Structures are given as structure tokens and as C-alpha cells.
């Protein structure tokens, strides 16, 4: 089965320069084409499992740029996920990644972990934080955790500020729930302002992408079922995500995995058909926004297009156009606005050297356009970009919704 | 694996970070976009000419095969180390040394990607004409070694027409430099002609001076469809015969159009038997006049639909369709084999009929794709190598296609090169003395045959 699936890579090499890791390392083994070759060799038993094989196939941001640029339409994503699973089975996983998976596999554990971490933050001496790094990010540059998880702090059903025009479900993702509640509150604020009733199902949990990327498909499956059950019984206009990676999971991975498990994909596909990233949704209903007319001074912003926004939703152009349309912003594009920042889920932690070079180039270009805000719609990109800025860089990284929300006319 | 003594000597030169020889790594340098695979014993990433020279001195001393590699996008097996030994990978020797549009040249290291040359020239409104389909990834070193072409070579010519000068390291490690920054230079032998297209069998390119051109003021692109493939081909010979030289004339048959449309969803006409993408450039008024003449000619040859791209986006869409052809064919079957036989343009209709006749005879699917304006055909046959019976038919069909091209005064390769794919067919287009002559040149420069051994010479 796997053999047939893999044979149709024509090895044309067009994925090489689409791949952020290849572009940086300039070594064939970093390329998507090479990974497919190695997977084929492993499946045909001509190449044995090894720690190096695991490293080569895992040194990948799972950004999807290869697939987006593949003329043969190869699904690298699924092939890489399957191979990562095999490699974890053969070679084991590092303790840090293991505990991440353990944590994300159950919502109560995520909560517990967040509580512990919050306590940790309070007692961590500054001298310690300044000297230590997690991956490429200095510890004291990590975001502080939400004092209360976003979903606990907000209601499950939120009514609009004006006459209701529709209903939406909001999949908040772990990052908004535990790290960046400003994104969550801004999203709600905008949707209320637009006239939407918002439902935030209580039972939702991690989308499972981190689990799938690290070969924990069985654990992922439990989360997936939980999420589908939490979302399936609502009749809504859209299922909104503020993180395009979660969106990719709901839209593409869930239906595929459910079908692979031989289960009825009806509910999953219904949900998938309604999944939309928040920026595309705002753009589609742009005429429902009323801005505060007293804002006179324009804010200058630049934008970093997350890979999953670009490759899975094609929405980076929509996001950029939306930002350009906002009357209170001056948009300054960087030449590499749609290139990967090197965050890649846990990539920044596992391959800090590679990641650091990628993010430093982004930062250099972003500083050169002299913007005040650096907008990006992915929490890992945000953490990675913000985490690598210096205090005196005078650049603040935000989700675009936060800045949009702050400029809305008060009703 | 190389002998420890050799390995140590090489690491002395390059350092251990740019020396790979673990099996997982070697497996990644065994292939290009062709079918045959063969692993090297070591992969080395040089960054300077001196390093290349020292590596070749060592390789010469121990008689180790050395095969150059850029991005590995060759479609004929040229960078596949069929006799193992060392792969010299140039992807990290990738500096643009000088951009000088006033004197109309650019100097680059071999690992610079073709698209990056274009990017460096764009702000000056200049471009480098050779545009192989792999240009987003393929390197100048590889382009020169293979004498790469591309769609717009109809008007602008192939790589050799743009190489003003080169620095080359010989098998002995000796460094030679020839040509200059001058567009006109007839000093001595035209050595660039010797190394350009030598596929790494005569020397290793470490620097190149390339001629560049100002971007044309206007570009116009046309998509024409026909309900008959023969008429499509006749339109091509008619236009070229009338003295118009478009930038490109890309022919695609029904199977190709549908294969692209299945994947890319570009709104191509699925019912057309043949189509042409025709592009012209130059001064606006001249373009408009030529466009009228071209439309007139295609209509006379029975075009059923003529559409001019009205925006850059539309134009890009047409070219995306054309560029994705090879990749989408790779989807149709586990393997794909595509060749690039070339015939004089007046024989394009005949050659296409021949290709269809031959593949029909063996019951094979064929996609006919061609840079038709210069007679450069790209018949593509999707097949399964594991199916021995089918594969035998594919091989026989291709040998008959080569034979047919030769009979029409054509040649084996218009732009891909010979590599492993076509060396057996050289006698079809070259007499014994000519092949002997090439061997003598090889013998004189590389007596131990360490440079890309096992290839066409």
C-alpha cells in the first residue's frame, strides 16, 4: 500500500526551493524529495531504521510548502506523519516531546500543566530565566500564561452586540486558551460587533496536530473524537479558528483520519466544510465592521504569513488584503512576508540552530520596514517571532484580530 | 565507503561538516529526476575553487570517480554517480559575484539557482534568457553542464549562447579560465563550447560569466486550441516559416491538457485535440503587428479558440499549466519517461504523427508536449517499471522514436543532455569517427576517466 503511494514522486525537484529547511541548509537530505526517497527505501527494507533516519525525516517544519508546490499532488503531510510514527515506534522519543504529548492528550493534563507552569513562572529567578533557553527562545521571552484559561474566562454562548445575523462556532485551540487570550477576546469582540452569536463548546480540546506530528496517532484519535462530538450538534454558519494549524487539522486531517479508521465521516465532513480562518471570515463580512472615526494617527504594521495559512487556506493574500483595507493602518510589506519563520510547532525546540537562522532573517527584514506592529495569525509564529526579538527592537507581535478589535467603534 | 586514507585527506581539505558518508545521507544523492539510481561513497560540499582543486588532486591520486551535482533536477541521469566515488555537490557554493548590467554580464558561482540570477537582475530590468522548467531550483553549474534550454530558447537560444567565460577545474586539479567579460571575444579556441554540455565529463565548473539581456518592453501571450493535433503542428511550421520568431511556442495535446487540468484546475479546454501557448515580446507596436499575423495564421490552420492573456495573472496561469506538465504526468503511473528528441521545425507535424503511430503500435499512453517552435519534442510516457512487459514496450517505443527523429534529420536531445538516458543511441546521430573524436578529447583531459565516468563518453 505505502509502496504504491510513494512511487509517484517524479523526483523533479521542484519541492527543493519550496522547502524552508532545504533553502537554508542547501543539502539534499533536508529536502522533501529526499524524505520521500528515504521513506521508500525504509518501506522496501533497503534502509534500516536509525536515529539519523529519524532525525532526517523529522527535521521538517510540517509547513506544507512542498505539497503546495508539488506538480504531482503528493500528500507529503500524511506520508511524513506516518513515517514519524514509525520512527517514534522504532527509535523512541525524547523525554521533552514525550511529556508534551502526554500533556496534550488530555485536556485536564493541559490545564494541570498550565497551572504548574504559571506557578513556575512566579518562582523562577530572573537570573535563571535570562541565561536559559528553550530551543532558540530565551526563557524570559516566552509568553506568560493567561491568568485564567480563556474558555473558563468567557461564556459558552455569547450573544451579539446588535441584531443577530448568524451563529458561529469558535474552536479556540490551546494557544488562545492558555497563552494568548488577547486573541480570543478580540475574536469574540469582533464577532459580537458583526452581529454573530458565538458558541464556544466547553468540551473542545487540543486539535491533535502536535500529537500527529510526533507519531502519537492513537492518542490523537481520542482528541479528535472529543472535538467532533463537541462540534457536531450545532447548526452554524461557520466553524472559526484563529490558528490556521488547528484549522488545517479540522478541515483536512480529521476527515482523512476518520475515514482511515473506517468510521462514518459524515459529521467530520460537515464540520470540515464549514471551517474557516477568522481573517477570511472578517474579510468576507468586512462591510459589517464600523471603525472608530476618532482614530487619526495611522499605525504602521507589517505581516508575517504563517505557512499553514498560506498552504492550507491560501488565505495569506486575503489576510494581507484585509490588513491593507483597514483604514487605521499603514501596511509595510517585507520581501519575505510569506516565508517560514522556523517556528514549526516544536521545530524551534528540536532544531534551534536551523530555526534561529530562519527567524533572524525574518526579524532583520521586519525591522528594516520600521513598523510598530508585526501581525501574524499563528500562535507558534507569534511565540517564535516575539521570543527572538530584543527588548529594544520596538516591534510588537500580535494577532491581526487584536488590532482590528481595538479600532472598532463602540456600540 | 572510501578508503580511510582518502577520507582523511578529503576531510583535511573540506572539514568534516561538509563531508557526508553515512548510508542515510548517501541515499539522498543517488538520484536525479531520471529513473536510474546509484549511490556515491561520499558527498562533499565545496565552497571555493581552491577546495575543488584540492579535492580533484586527491581524487586523481587515488583514481576516485567524481561526479558534479547542483540541485539534482537533471532528467537524464547526468549527476547520478553510476561508478560511485565522490559526489561534488555545489549547492553551497552559491554566491553571485558581480552584477554588471552596464556591461551586460553577471558573474556567478556554480551553485547559484537560475531563479536567483533572474531575481538579481530584475531590479535592473535585465534577465538571463535560458529558462529550463526546473529554473526555480536548478543551478547555473548544472544548467551549463547540461547546456540547458527552455521554452523561450526558441527566440533567445540555449545556455551556450549566454556563457561568456568560465573557470573550470580539470581532473588534475589544474584551474583554467577562458572567455572574458566581452560579448565579442574570438581569442583562441571557443572553450566554453567544449565544457558547456560536457555533463561534468571534462572538468568541474567553478565560476561563470553569463551574458544578460534587457527585459523586453512588452510581452504578449496567446492560448490557441485546435480540434486536430495535425493542424496544431502545421500552425507552428506556418508561423515560423513566415519569418516570425516568437519567444516560445508550446504545444500540448489532449492527454497533457487533461492531465494538467485534473490537478491544477486552470480552466483549460478539455476537449481540445491540441493547443499552443504562443508568446512574443519586444517593442509594443511590433508585438501588436506580430500578434495579428499570428492570429491570422492559427485561424487559417483551423484554430477553434484564440485567447490572449489580458493580465500578468492570466499569463502566469498559462505558464503554470505548461510548467506543471512533467509533474502531473508523474501522477498517471508509478514512473514516467520523457525525452527531448528534436527535429527541424518543418518536420514537427511528421514527427508528432510518428510518435503517435509508434506508441499506438505498442498500446502505450503518450502525452505530446513540445517546444514546438524549435522542433524540440517532449513525448512523455507514463508507465510502470515493475511491469516488465510494459517496460520493454516503452524502451522499444523510445528507441523507435529516436530512430524516427534521426531519419527526419533530427537529433537525440534538444535540451536535457545525454546522461545515462541516451548514450546507447549516440550512433544514430553521430558517426564512429565523431564519437572517437570526443573520446580522444576526454582521454587528453581526463586520462584516468575520474570525471563522471560511465556516461556518454
| pLDDT confidence of residue A4 | 43
CA distance A222 to B419: 52
| Tens of pLDDT, residues A17-36 | 999 999 999 999 999 999 99
Q: What are phi and psi of B118, to 5 degrees?
A: -60, -45
Instruction: Enumerate the residues of chain A whose CB falls inside 8 A of the CB of residue B71.
Output: 13, 16-17
Instruction: Enumerate the residues of chain B whose CB falls inside 8 A of the CB of residue A27.
Output: 20, 45, 89, 91-92
Of B27, B331, B334, the CB nearest to A41: B27
| pLDDT over threshold 60, residue A128 | no
- Mapping DSSP onto H, E and C, the string for B265-280 reads CCCCCCCCCEEEEEEE
| pLDDT confidence of residue B272 | 93
Of A13, A34, A50, the CB nearest to B137: A13
pLDDT band, residue A298 (cuts 50/70/90)? confident
Other CB atoms within 10 Å distance of the CB of residue B223: 24
Domain range B333-444, its CATH number among 3.40.50.11890, 2.40.50.100, 3.30.930.10, 3.30.70.2740: 3.30.70.2740
Quote the minimal CA–CA distance from A40 to chain B in Å: 11
| pLDDT confidence of residue A132 | 61
**Whether the Cβ atoms of residue A34 and residue A57 lie closer than 8 Å to each other:** no
| pLDDT confidence of residue A276 | 94
| pLDDT over threshold 70, residue A391 | yes
Query: Locate cell 522496501: which residue?
Result: A44
**Backbone angle region of B376, left / alpha / beta, with phi > 0 → left and psi within -120 to 50 → alpha:** beta
- Contact (CB<8Å) B324/A71: yes
CA distance A252 to A268: 10
| pLDDT confidence of residue A398 | 94
Restricting to A residues 57-86, those with a Cβ less than 8 Å away from any Cβ of B are: 70-73
- Domain B96-214, architecture per CATH: 2-Layer Sandwich (3.30)
**Whether the Cβ atoms of residue B211 and residue B105 lie closer than 8 Å to each other:** yes
- Domain A290-406, architecture per CATH: 3-Layer(aba) Sandwich (3.40)
Which range (A249-258, B139-148, B160-169, B400-409) has the least confidence?
Answer: A249-258
**Backbone angle region of A336, left / alpha / beta, with phi > 0 → left and psi within -120 to 50 → alpha:** alpha
| Tens of pLDDT, residues B108-130 | 999 999 999 999 999 999 999 99
CATH 3.40.50 boundaries in chain A: 150-284, 290-406
Closest residue, chain B, to A56 (C-alpha): B24
Instruction: Enumerate the residues of chain A whose CB falls inside 8 A of the CB of residue B33.
Output: 10-13
Quote the minimal CA–CA distance from A72 to chain B in Å: 5
Closest residue, chain B, to A31 (C-alpha): B28
Q: What are phi and psi of B335, to 5 degrees?
A: -130, 160
CA distance A188 to B201: 66
| pLDDT over threshold 60, residue B169 | yes
Q: Do domains B4-89 and B333-444 have the same CATH topology?
A: no
| pLDDT confidence of residue B101 | 97
Which residue ranges make up each domain of chain B? 4-89, 96-214, 216-332, 333-444
Q: What is the mean pLDDT of chain B?
A: 94
| Tens of pLDDT, residues A156-170 | 999 999 899 999 999
User: Nine-digit cell at A59?
Assistant: 527535521
Closest CA to A280 of A398, A190, A212, A409: A190
**Whether the Cβ atoms of residue A184 and residue A242 lie closer than 8 Å to each other:** yes
CA distance A130 to B37: 50
Question: Is B388 buried (19+), middle (13-18) or exposed (0-12) by CB count in 10 A?
Answer: exposed
Size of interface A-B (CB pairs under 8 A): 102
**Whether the Cβ atoms of residue B93 and residue B109 lie closer than 8 Å to each other:** yes
A17 touches B at CB < 8 Å: yes
pLDDT band, residue A393 (cuts 50/70/90)? confident
Share of chain A above pLDDT 70, in %: 91
| pLDDT confidence of residue B332 | 82
How far apart, in Å, are the Cα atoms of B327 and each of A8, A29, A80, B211?
Answer: 9, 21, 20, 30
| pLDDT over threshold 70, residue A375 | yes
A9 touches B at CB < 8 Å: yes
B123 touches A at CB < 8 Å: no
Closest residue, chain A, to B119 (C-alpha): A335
Of A8, A17, A71, the CB nearest to B326: A71
Restricting to B residues 295-334, those with a Cβ less than 8 Å away from any Cβ of A are: 323-331, 333-334
Which range (A122-131, A214-223, A250-259, B65-74) has the least confidence?
Answer: A122-131
| pLDDT over threshold 90, residue B176 | yes
CA distance A407 to B262: 44
CA distance A31 to B183: 38
Of A8, A26, A27, the CB nearest to B330: A8
CA distance A238 to A283: 14
| pLDDT confidence of residue A368 | 94
| pLDDT over threshold 50, residue A5 | no
- Mapping DSSP onto H, E and C, the string for chain A reads CHHHHHHCCCCCCCCHHHCHHHHHHCCHHHCHHHHHHHHHHHHCCCCCCCHHHHHHHHCCCCCCHHHHHCCCCCCHHHHHHHHHHHHHHHHCCCHHHHHHHHHHCCHHHHHHHHHHHHHHHHHCCHHHHHHCEECCEEHHHCCCCCCCCHHHHCCCEECCCCCCCEEEEEECHHHHHHCCHHHHHHHHHHHHHHCEEEECCCCCCCCCHHHHHCCCHHHHHHHHHHHHHHHCCCCCCEEEECCHHHHHHHHHHHHHHHHHCCCCCHHHHHHHHHEEEHHHHHHHCHHHCCECCCCCCCEEEEECCCHHHHHHHCCHHHHHHHHHHCCCEEECCCCCCCCCCCCCCCHHHHCHHHHHHHHHHHHHHHHHCCCCEEECCCHHHHHHHHHHCCHHHCCEEECHHHHHHHCECCC
| pLDDT confidence of residue A1 | 33
Distance between terminal CA atoms of chain B? 26
- Contact (CB<8Å) B327/A72: yes
How far apart, in Å, are the Cα atoms of A355 and each of A87, A276, A358?
Answer: 22, 29, 5
More confident residue, A133 or B274: B274
Of A4, A26, A73, the CB nearest to B92: A26
| pLDDT confidence of residue B234 | 93
| Tens of pLDDT, residues B298-337 | 999 999 999 999 988 889 888 888 877 877 787 788 888 8
pLDDT average, residue stretch A128-149: 72
Which range (A385-389, B265-269, B347-351) has the least confidence?
Answer: B265-269
B138 touches A at CB < 8 Å: yes
| Tens of pLDDT, residues A212-233 | 888 888 888 889 999 999 999 8
Instruction: Enumerate the residues of chain A whose CB falls inside 8 A of the CB of residue B87.
Output: none
Closest residue, chain B, to A35 (C-alpha): B28
One DSSP character per residue, B90-150 reads -TT---EEEEETTTTEEEE-TT-BHHHHHHHHGGGTEE-----TTTTT-BHHHHHHHT---
Instruction: Enumerate the residues of chain A whose CB falls inside 8 A of the CB of residue B45.
Output: 26-27
Name the fold adopted by A2-90: Fumarate Reductase Iron-sulfur Protein; Chain B, domain 2 (1.10.1060)
- Contact (CB<8Å) A73/B335: no
Strand order in the sheet with B42-44: B19-20, B42-44, B86-89, B66-69
**Whether the Cβ atoms of residue A75 and residue A6 lie closer than 8 Å to each other:** no
pLDDT band, residue A115 (cuts 50/70/90)? low
A44 touches B at CB < 8 Å: no
| pLDDT over threshold 70, residue A120 | no
Query: Locate cell 558547456: which residue?
Result: B196
CATH class for the region spanning A150-284: alpha beta
| pLDDT confidence of residue A394 | 87
Mutate to test the interface with A, among B46, B137, B140, B336 (most CBs of A within 10 A): B137
pLDDT band, residue B29 (cuts 50/70/90)? very high
| pLDDT confidence of residue A121 | 58
Restricting to B residues 192-231, those with a Cβ less than 8 Å away from any Cβ of A are: none
Instruction: Enumerate the residues of chain A whose CB falls inside 8 A of the CB of residue B330.
Output: 8-10, 12, 71-72
Of A14, A28, A47, the CB nearest to B29: A28
Q: Which residues contact A143 (CB under 8 A, 6 or more apart)?
A: A179, A180, A382, A383, A386
Q: What are phi and psi of B218, to 5 degrees?
A: -130, 145
User: Nine-digit cell at A65?
Assistant: 510548502
- Contact (CB<8Å) B134/A14: yes
Instruction: Enumerate the residues of chain A whose CB falls inside 8 A of the CB of residue B94.
Output: 26
| pLDDT confidence of residue A102 | 72
pLDDT band, residue A131 (cuts 50/70/90)? low
| Tens of pLDDT, residues B213-256 | 999 999 999 999 999 999 999 999 999 999 999 999 999 999 89
Helix (H, G, I), strand (E, B) or coil at B181: coil
pLDDT average, residue stretch A302-309: 94
pLDDT average, residue stretch A272-280: 95
B33 touches A at CB < 8 Å: yes
| pLDDT over threshold 90, residue B194 | yes
- Contact (CB<8Å) A27/B113: no
| pLDDT over threshold 80, residue A118 | no
- Contact (CB<8Å) B28/A71: no
| pLDDT over threshold 50, residue A3 | no
Closest CA to B263 of B213, B206, B329, B353: B329
pLDDT average, residue stretch A110-139: 62
Which range (A142-151, A252-261, B61-70, B192-201) has the least confidence?
Answer: A142-151
The two most distant CA atoms of chain A are separated, in Å, by: 69
**Whether the Cβ atoms of residue A96 and residue A349 lie closer than 8 Å to each other:** yes
- What is the CATH code for B216-332? 3.30.70.2190
Instruction: Enumerate the residues of chain A whose CB falls inside 8 A of the CB of residue B111.
Output: 26
Domain range B4-89, its CATH number among 3.40.720.10, 3.40.1010.20, 3.30.43.10, 3.90.1410.10: 3.30.43.10
How far apart, in Å, are the Cα atoms of B274 and each of A52, A350, B336, B343?
Answer: 49, 51, 21, 19
Amino acid at each position: 500500500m505505502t509502496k504504491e503511494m510513494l512511487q509517484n514522486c517524479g523526483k523533479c525537484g521542484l519541492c527543493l526551493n519550496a522547502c524552508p529547511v532545504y533553502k537554508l541548509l542547501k543539502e539534499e537530505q533536508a529536502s522533501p524529495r529526499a524524505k520521500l526517497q528515504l521513506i521508500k527505501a525504509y518501506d522496501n527494507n533497503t534502509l534500516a531504521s536509525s536515529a539519523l533516519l529519524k532525525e532526517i525525516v523529522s527535521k521538517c517544519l510540517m509547513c506544507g510548502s512542498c505539497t503546495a508546490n508539488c506538480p504531482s499532488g503528493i500528500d507529503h503531510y500524511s506520508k511524513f506523519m506516518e513515517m514519524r510514527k514509525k520512527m517514534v515506534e522504532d527509535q523512541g522519543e525524547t523525554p521533552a516531546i514525550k511529556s508534551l504529548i502526554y500533556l496534550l492528550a488530555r485536556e485536564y493534563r493541559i490545564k494541570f500543566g498550565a497551572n504548574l507552569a504559571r506557578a513556575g513562572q512566579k518562582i523562577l529567578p530572573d537570573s535563571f530565566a535570562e541565561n536559559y533557553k528553550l530551543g532558540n527562545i530565551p526563557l524570559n521571552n516566552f509568553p506568560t500564561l493567561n491568568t485564567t484559561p480563556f474558555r473558563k474566562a468567557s461564556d459558552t454562548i455569547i450573544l451579539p452586540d446588535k441584531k443577530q445575523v448568524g451563529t458561529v462556532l469558535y474552536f479556540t485551540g490551546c494557544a488562545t486558551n492558555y497563552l494568548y487570550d488577547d486573541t480570543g477576546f478580540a475574536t469574540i469582540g469582533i464577532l459580537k460587533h458583526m452581529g454573530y452569536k458565538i458558541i464556544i463548546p466547553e468540551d473542545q480540546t487540543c486539535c491533535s496536530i502536535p500529537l500527529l506530528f510526533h507519531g502519537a496517532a492513537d492518542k490523537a484519535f481520542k482528541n479528535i473524537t472529543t472535538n467532533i462530538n463537541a462540534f457536531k450538534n450545532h447548526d452554524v454558519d461557520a466553524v472559526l479558528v484563529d490558528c490556521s494549524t488547528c484549522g488545517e487539522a479540522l478541515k483536512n486531517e480529521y476527515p482523512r483520519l476518520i475515514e482511515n479508521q473506517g468510521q462514518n465521516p459524515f459529521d467530520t465532513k460537515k464540520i470540515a466544510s464549514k471551517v474557516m480562518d477568522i481573517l477570511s471570515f472578517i474579510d468576507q463580512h468586512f462591510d459589517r465592521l464600523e471603525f472608530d472615526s476618532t482614530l487619526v494617527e495611522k499605525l504602521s504594521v507589517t505581516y508575517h504569513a504563517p505557512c499553514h495559512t498560506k498552504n492550507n487556506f491560501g488565505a495569506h493574500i486575503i489576510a494581507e488584503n484585509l490588513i491593507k483595507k483597514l483604514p487605521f493602518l499603514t501596511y509595510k510589506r517585507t520581501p519575505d512576508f510569506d516565508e517560514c519563520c522556523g517556528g514549526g510547532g516544536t521545530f524551534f525546540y528540536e532544531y534551534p540552530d536551523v530555526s534561529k537562522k530562519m527567524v533572524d532573517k525574518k526579524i532583520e527584514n521586519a525591522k528594516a520596514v520600521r513598523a510598530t506592529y508585526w501581525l501574524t495569525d499563528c500562535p507558534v509564529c507569534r511565540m517564535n517571532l516575539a521570543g527572538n526579538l530584543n527588548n529594544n527592537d520596538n516591534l510588537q507581535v500580535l494577532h491581526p484580530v487584536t488590532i482590528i478589535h481595538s479600532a472598532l467603534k463602540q456600540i | 565507503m572510501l578508503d580511510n586514507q582518502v577520507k582523511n585527506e578529503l576531510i583535511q581539505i573540506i572539514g568534516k561538516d561538509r563531508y557526508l558518508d553515512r548510508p542515510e545521507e548517501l541515499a539522498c544523492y543517488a538520484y536525479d529526476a531520471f529513473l536510474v539510481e546509484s549511490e556515491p561513497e561520499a558527498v562533499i560540499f565545496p565552497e571555493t575553487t581552491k577546495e575543488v582543486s584540492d579535492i580533484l588532486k586527491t581524487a586523481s591520486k587515488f583514481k576516485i570517480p567524481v561526479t558534479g551535482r547542483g540541485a539534482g533536477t537533471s532528467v537524464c541521469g547526468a549527476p547520478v554517480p553510476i561508478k560511485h566515488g565522490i559526489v561534488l555537490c555545489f549547492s553551497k557554493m552559491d554566491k553571485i559575484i558581480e552584477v554588471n548590467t552596464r556591461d551586460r554580464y553577471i558573474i556567478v558561482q556554480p551553485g547559484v539557482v537560475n531563479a536567483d540570477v533572474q531575481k538579481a537582475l530584475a531590479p535592473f530590468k535585465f534577465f538571463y534568457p535560458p529558462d529550463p522548467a526546473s529554473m526555480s531550483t536548478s543551478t547555473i553549474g548544472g544548467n551549463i553542464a547540461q547546456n540547458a534550454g527552455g521554452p523561450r530558447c526558441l527566440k533567445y537560444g540555449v545556455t551556450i549562447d549566454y556563457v561568456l567565460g568560465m573557470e573550470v577545474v580539470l581532473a588534475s586539479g589544474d584551474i583554467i579560465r577562458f572567455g572574458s567579460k566581452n560579448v565579442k571575444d574570438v581569442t583562441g579556441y571557443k572553450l566554453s563550447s567544449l565544457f558547456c554540455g560536457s555533463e561534468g565529463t571534462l572538468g568541474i565548473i567553478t565560476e561563470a560569466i553569463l551574458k544578460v539581456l534587457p527585459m523586453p518592453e512588452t510581452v504578449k501571450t496567446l492560448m490557441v486550441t485546435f480540434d486536430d493535433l495535425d493542424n496544431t503542428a502545421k500552425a507552428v511550421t506556418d508561423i515560423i516559416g513566415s519569418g516570425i520568431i516568437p519567444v516560445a511556442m508550446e504545444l500540448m495535446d489532449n492527454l497533457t491538457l487533461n492531465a494538467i487540468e485534473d490537478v491544477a484546475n486552470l480552466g483549460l479546454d478539455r476537449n481540445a485535440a491540441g493547443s499552443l501557448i504562443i508568446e512574443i515580446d519586444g517593442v509594443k507596436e511590433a508585438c501588436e503587428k506580430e500578434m495579428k499575423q499570428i492570429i491570422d495564421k492559427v485561424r487559417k490552420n483551423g484554430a477553434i479558440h484564440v485567447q490572449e492573456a489580458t493580465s500578468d495573472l492570466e499569463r502566469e496561469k498559462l505558464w503554470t499549466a505548461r510548467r506543471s506538465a512533467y509533474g502531473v504526468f508523474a501522477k498517471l503511473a508509478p514512473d514516467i519517461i520523457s525525452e527531448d528528441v528534436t527535429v527541424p521545425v518543418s518536420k514537427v507535424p511528421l514527427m508528432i504523427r510518428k510518435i503517435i503511430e509508434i506508441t499506438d503500435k505498442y498500446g502505450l499512453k503518450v502525452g505530446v508536449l513540445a517546444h514546438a517552435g524549435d522542433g524540440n519534442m517532449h513525448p512523455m510516457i507514463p508507465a510502470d517499471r515493475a511491469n516488465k512487459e510494459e517496460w520493454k514496450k516503452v524502451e522499444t517505443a523510445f528507441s523507435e522514436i529516436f530512430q524516427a527523429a534521426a531519419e527526419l534529420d533530427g537529433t537525440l536531445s534538444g535540451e536535457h543532455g545525454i546522461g545515462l538516458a541516451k548514450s546507447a543511441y549516440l550512433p544514430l546521430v553521430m558517426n564512429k569517427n565523431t564519437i572517437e573524436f570526443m573520446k580522444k578529447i576526454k582521454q587528453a583531459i581526463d586520462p584516468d576517466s575520474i570525471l563522471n565516468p560511465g556516461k556518454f563518453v
